[in-house]
Each structure stands twice: as C-alpha cells, then as structure tokens.
Amino acid sequence: MGKEEKKAISPTREEDYSEWYQQVVKASDMAERSPVRGCMVIKPWGYSLWENIVRELDDMFKEVGVKNAYFPLFIPLSFLEKEASHVEGFAKECAVVTHHRLEKNADGRLVPAGPLTEPLVVRPTSETIIGDAFSKWVSSYRDLPLLINQWVNVVRWEMRTRIFLRTSEFLWQEGHAAHATEKEAMERTRLMLDIYARLAEEYLALPVTKGRKTAAERFPGAVETFCIEAMMQDRKALQVGTSHFLGQNFAKASEIKFQSFEEKEEYAWTVSWGASTRMIGGIIMMHGDDDGVILPPRVASSHVVFIPIYRSPDDKPKVMEYIQKIAMELKSSFYCDRKIRVEIDDRDTGGARGWEWIKKGIPLRVEVGPRDMSQDSVYVARRDKPHREKISMKRDFFVKEITNILDEIQNNLYEKAVSFKEKNTLQVDGGKAFYEFFTPLNKEQPEIHGGFALSHWCGTGECEAKIKEDLSVTVRCIPLEQEKEKGKCVCCGRPSSGRVVFAKAY
C-alpha cells in the first residue's frame, strides 16, 4: 500500500513497533491496564479470543487423556521451599498473603489484621501444591500415568509489564503429569510440546521452532525445558509455550512414590507444561498491520460482522431483516467444527463502524444496503486484504463460501508468517557477522535487528552470558531438528557440533 494512505494506527510499525503494539491493543478493545500495578483487564473482545484458544487446546488435551481439576490459589511457603532451585527462581516475584482480615486501627483506618502463622504465596505455578496432591493420589503403578490440567490465574510480580506479554497476573493452563518411567515422562513432555506446536501453527497461524532450552533458560527445578518459539514482526522471539521434563526432582520434593509392578517403591517421573494469555500478544504482534489487529479465523473472537447501510431510516427495518436472516443461517453453520460467530453492528455511527471492526481484526466485514438487497448480494471485505478491496457476492454464494474464505484468510496469515520467519532466520557465522546481525537496523528503533541467527555455540554458560551481556541476545532454543554440523562458537571460537537459535526475546 502507498505511503499516502492514512493508517488507523499511529505510530506505524515502521515508526515505532513497540508503541504501535500498545496502540493496536488499545484500538482493538481487547484489554487495558488496570489500576492494580501490572495487572490487566481483559475486555470481552480479548476474552472471547482467549475462550476460543482455551476450547481448542482443552480439546487437544482431553484427546490425549488429560483431565481438568482445580488446586488452591495459595501455596504455603514451606511447600515452595521443598525444591531449592524452584523457590529461588520465583522468590523475587511472589505476591505474599500475610493476613486474613482487615481491622480499623486507632486512627480509624483499615489495616491488615489476623496475621497468618505461615505466609501464603499466590501461585506463580503449581508444581509444589499439585505435587502434594499427587503424593496422596499415587500409590501403585496402576495409578499412573496421572494426567491433570488446570485453567487458572497465576501471579508473578513483574517490574516491567506489557499487556498480554508480561503482566503480574495472567491466565494460563498448567498441565501436570506423573509417570512410572523416565521414558514415558519424556514422551509426555514431547507430546505436549507437539500439541502446543499444532495449536500455534494450525490455529494461531504462528509458525514455530521447537527446541530445548539451555540450562540458563530452563524452568526452575526442571531437568529439561522444551519450548516453541515464534518470530514477531520486529524479529524478536516470543516463547509461546513450554513443556518441562522434571525428572524425579519434584517427585522427591513432594514424596510422589509408587509401588512398581515388581513391588519396588519408586519415585514417579513428573512433567509440567504451560501456555498463557501471552499467546494473544503473539497473535497481535505477528499478524497485526498498521490498521490494527488481524485475527486468525480459527480462534477469532468473531468471524464476521454485518454492517447495515442505508440513507433513510425507513430503510433500516428491511435491511436489518435481510441481515438477520443471513446471520441466522450462518450461526447454525460450522467452521472447523465450531459454530460460526456473527456480529451485527446496527449502531447509527455510519462509516466509523467499519474502521472499528478493522481495528478489532474481525476476519470478514459485510456491508448490506438496499442496492445490494435488490441484487440479492452482499458486499464483502476481508481483513487480510487492503481495506478498500470489497467484493460484491451473491448472498447464497457468500453463505456457501464463507468457510472457504475463512480458510483462505487463515492460510494466508500463516503463509505470510512463515515466509517472514524464513526470510529473517539466517545462518550466521564468525563473531563479527554475528554481532552485526544483532545491530539495530534503524536508529529510531534500536530493538529491531536481524532476526533469528542459526549459529554455532560451544555450549558453555560463559559464552551464553557474554552474548547476553553484549547484545541482550540469548539462545532461544537448541532446535529439535538440529543438523549435525561442525563449526566454531560465535563467541569463543571453540568447536561446536550444531547450530542453535539466537535471538532477542520478549
């Protein structure tokens, strides 16, 4: 599109990507900051997107035998302390409940009262409290595998927050499994990672790299952390989901023991996996344009909005009647096994309505006026096309074709994201080229750089730390499909046997 065309979002991505993100979120009406430090309010348009993501992921979990449950919000401090590296990882960001009442003090002001004998931590994650339950539920190999998930809020007190991407409270699911053998537990870890990758690619339209984390980036207490990493439009990496092989660390901390088939007492092998409302940030950041959000149809808050167009108010009733009928037909049809979601915007706010829906990212906008009706047609605009490109379609054809059109949009978003990711993922060798790759492309936007560097690394924490220190770049993952290749570490020149993904990250 030409420069001259005015965009709905200011600044544009090119002008200031970071501020563009804030403005897009605002314009989409998906969420806003709350008066509580670092916490967000998820508004209906954003929450509905979340509900759709939840539904898809929840179905995938249930297909592989995972059952939902609910565990307490509060974790006694003594539980958190059971796994040393775990508590160390979360101690700096814990909301701590210390009192269970409010009382008026001498000045008549309400103050906390009723001190607790043991402080309670608002769950940042639930390995320890769930581990305690598992220790009671598991006694024989017959009780295994135990496959549990919960959809809940968690709190990690963050100093620098950004809506959806990093907030002090967020919504997520955390899955927890106990297995009888190391092999099964590792298979489970990988299976859940595959499910996340499927969700990201097939539903969120986000191509991802699957890999394992380095020791420095692992979940506190895990033996191995696996992740999927997506690329955003500023070429930074966003970790979309993680799956942790916990070995017997948490089983030992929580005493999750069972009697094996051979009647020996053994510790279980546990796994946990999590994905959060951060996925919404990924959708916005990767698919959005300078006119706002673009929602992938499969999880979109809604699929299509009808906008009645008329000059005389007398025309409104018959236009509305015509629209209601199409809407009814669509609402009882299915797109990818879910009912089609339909909006009708009958507000009297003229052309402003169209722009609002563009900013909200609804996949299809359909205008209907008396002239369209007289030809039994509707006027259809796709959010993934320039906003002026509207096509007149016969009404019945539109009803018949809508699922194909939605699929085209879904695929289009995915293909665009794939080529962007491929274009900005390069093999980078030699210390100098590596440092240049991560040099800002543009002074005004110091954050934007080369993208994902597939580079050699010696595997030491020292080089990893130096690169982080110098460039704020980290090893995002060691790809699962890493090819064996001899090379030299981009930092120290020592030998390496394969390339890893380096990138700046959210």
Q: Considering the complex, state which of residue 74 and residue 355 has its C-beta at the smaller distance from a copy of itself.
A: 74
110 CB-contact burial (10 Å; exposed 0-12 / middle 13-18 / buried 19+): exposed
To a copy of itself, the closest distance from the beta carbon of 91 in angstroms equals 4
CA angle 34, 36, 41 (to 5 degrees): 30
Q: Which residues in 302-361 contact a copy of itself (CB under 8 A)?
A: 347
**Considering only residues 1, 64, 111, 216, which one is a binding residue for a copy of itself as defined by CB under 8 A?**
111
Say if CB 505 and CB 476 are below 8 A apart: yes
Only segment of 45-53, 229-237, 303-311, 455-463 that touches a copy of itself (CB under 8 A): 45-53
Q: Does 91 bind a copy of itself (CB under 8 A)?
A: yes
Interface characters, 146-185, with a copy of itself (x: CB under 8 A) = --x---xx-x-x-----------x-x--------------
Q: Does 132 bind a copy of itself (CB under 8 A)?
A: yes
**Buried residues in 342-378 as b, exposed as e (16+ CB within 10 A):** bbbbeeeeeeebbebbbbbbbbbbbbbbbebbeeebb
Q: Considering the complex, state which of residue 348 and residue 469 has its C-beta at the smaller distance from a copy of itself.
A: 348
**Considering only residues 110, 215, 328, 465, which one is a binding residue for a copy of itself as defined by CB under 8 A?**
110
Q: Considering the complex, state which of residue 95 and residue 480 has its C-beta at the smaller distance from a copy of itself.
A: 95
To a copy of itself, the closest distance from the beta carbon of 355 in angstroms equals 17
To a copy of itself, the closest distance from the beta carbon of 76 in angstroms equals 6
Q: In three state form, how does the secondary structure of 254-313 look? A: HCCEEECCCCCEEECEEEEEEEECHHHHHHHHHHCECCECCCCCCCCCCCEEEEECCCCH
* Distance between CA atoms of residues 147 and 152, nearest Å: 17
Say if CB 452 and CB 428 are below 8 A apart: no
Q: Considering the complex, state which of residue 359 and residue 456 has its C-beta at the smaller distance from a copy of itself.
A: 359
Say if CB 239 and CB 229 are below 8 A apart: yes
To a copy of itself, the closest distance from the beta carbon of 279 in angstroms equals 15
402 CB-contact burial (10 Å; exposed 0-12 / middle 13-18 / buried 19+): buried
Closest by alpha carbon to 366, among 423, 415, 326? 326
Residue 137 main-chain phi, psi, to 5 deg: -85, -20
Q: Considering the complex, state which of residue 151 and residue 420 has its C-beta at the smaller distance from a copy of itself.
A: 151
271 C-beta neighbours (distance < 10 Å), count: 28
**Considering only residues 8, 60, 73, 505, which one is a binding residue for a copy of itself as defined by CB under 8 A?**
73
Q: Does 65 bind a copy of itself (CB under 8 A)?
A: no
Q: Does 259 bind a copy of itself (CB under 8 A)?
A: no
Q: Considering the complex, state which of residue 18 and residue 150 has its C-beta at the smaller distance from a copy of itself.
A: 150
Closest by alpha carbon to 238, among 190, 198, 292, 275? 275
Only segment of 29-37, 325-333, 387-395, 468-476 that touches a copy of itself (CB under 8 A): 29-37
C-alpha distances (whole Å) from 44 to each of 28, 29, 72, 301 are 11, 8, 26, 9
To a copy of itself, the closest distance from the beta carbon of 136 in angstroms equals 8
Q: Considering the complex, state which of residue 29 and residue 407 has its C-beta at the smaller distance from a copy of itself.
A: 29
**Considering only residues 24, 49, 75, 195, which one is a binding residue for a copy of itself as defined by CB under 8 A?**
75
Q: Does 112 bind a copy of itself (CB under 8 A)?
A: yes
Only segment of 125-133, 199-207, 279-287, 369-377 that touches a copy of itself (CB under 8 A): 125-133
DSSP run (H or E) holding 370? helix 370-374
Closest by alpha carbon to 256, among 336, 374, 169, 176? 176
> Letter for the amino acid at 427?
Q
Please tell me the count of residues contacting a copy of itself according to CB under 8 A.
63
Q: Considering the complex, state which of residue 284 and residue 491 has its C-beta at the smaller distance from a copy of itself.
A: 284
Q: Is 346 helix (H, G, I), strand (E, B) or coil?
A: coil
Looking at the chain, how many residues does it have?
506
Give the interface with a copy of itself as residue ranges (CB under 8 A).
32, 34-36, 39-44, 47-48, 50-51, 67-77, 79-81, 87, 91-103, 110-112, 114, 119-122, 129, 132-133, 136, 142, 148, 152-153, 155, 157, 169, 171, 347
